[in-house]
Amino acid sequence: MAKTEVILTHNIVGLGGESDQVKVAAGYARNYLLPQGLAVPLTGANKRRIEALRQRRAEREAHEFNTMNDLAKSVSKLICLITVKTGEDGKIFGTVTSGMIADQLKTQFDITLDKRKIHLEAPIRALGDHEVELRLHADVITKVNVRVESSTPPPALTVVPGSEGKKEDPRTEKRGWRPEAAGERAPTGDRKSPAARGDRGPRSDKTAKPEKAPVVEKASKA
């Protein structure tokens, strides 16, 4: 594949920055870099532009550093909330990726950040708070607190029918006594006396007989 040398006039990630002289595929330079104004052919006339390009590059990098440094100070105080679905055991379905974190930073705080600057040693697989490293710049590294919460409602508690409010009936010496009947009885103080009920007094064992009149002897005639 034929190669050609060009001078970059803009920063291109993975290729170089302003004033860099790089070799690229001839088709890539002809079809993309040169038409887009991202590079110029390496010629004597264009070499004289290198110093101006270097000055532009220094200004751009200083601006990027200041911007990322200010962003690092503010983002370190934020808590990025991410909700996920979980199973009954509390384990999340899937993982939390750098792309998800980048989307939520944009949604919640209007921070546009390339997901490649969000460094995860491994995808997040558990609920809770996690510190995630952000490589904002070659000289600026910070961390953001990511809080993973479950969007799945907790399972409802199962209640056995009849288990609530069940009380044992108080037992008494007499069978068949119902608690509700106790409330229907009149208090002891309200009972009527035997005289008020018309009760008679105790009967004697023998009926009293009427007394006989005394016998008077008749006087004998003289």
* Rounded-to-integer distance, Cα 11 and Cα 57, Å: 8
- Is 2.40.160.20 the CATH classification of the domain at 3-69? no
What pLDDT tens digit does each residue of the chain (222 aa) get?
688 999 999 999 889 999 999 999 999 999 999 999 999 999 888 888 899 999 999 999 999 999 999 999 999 999 999 999 888 887 888 899 999 999 999 999 999 999 999 999 888 999 999 999 999 988 999 999 999 998 876 665 555 566 555 555 555 555 555 555 555 554 555 555 554 455 555 554 555 555 555 555 554 443
pTM confidence score: 0.56
Q: Where are the domains of the chain?
A: 3-69, 73-150
Instruction: Indicate the CATH number of 73-150 among 3.40.50.2300, 3.10.430.100, 3.30.470.20, 3.40.50.170.
Output: 3.10.430.100
* Rounded-to-integer distance, Cα 161 and Cα 95, Å: 40
Instruction: Mention every residue, 6+ apart, whose C-beta is less than 8 A from residue 101.
Output: 80, 82, 115, 118, 132, 144, 146
- Condensed to tens digits (0 to 9), the pLDDT of residues 21-71 reads 999 999 999 999 999 999 999 988 888 889 999 999 999 999 999 999 999
* Rounded-to-integer distance, Cα 142 and Cα 135, Å: 7
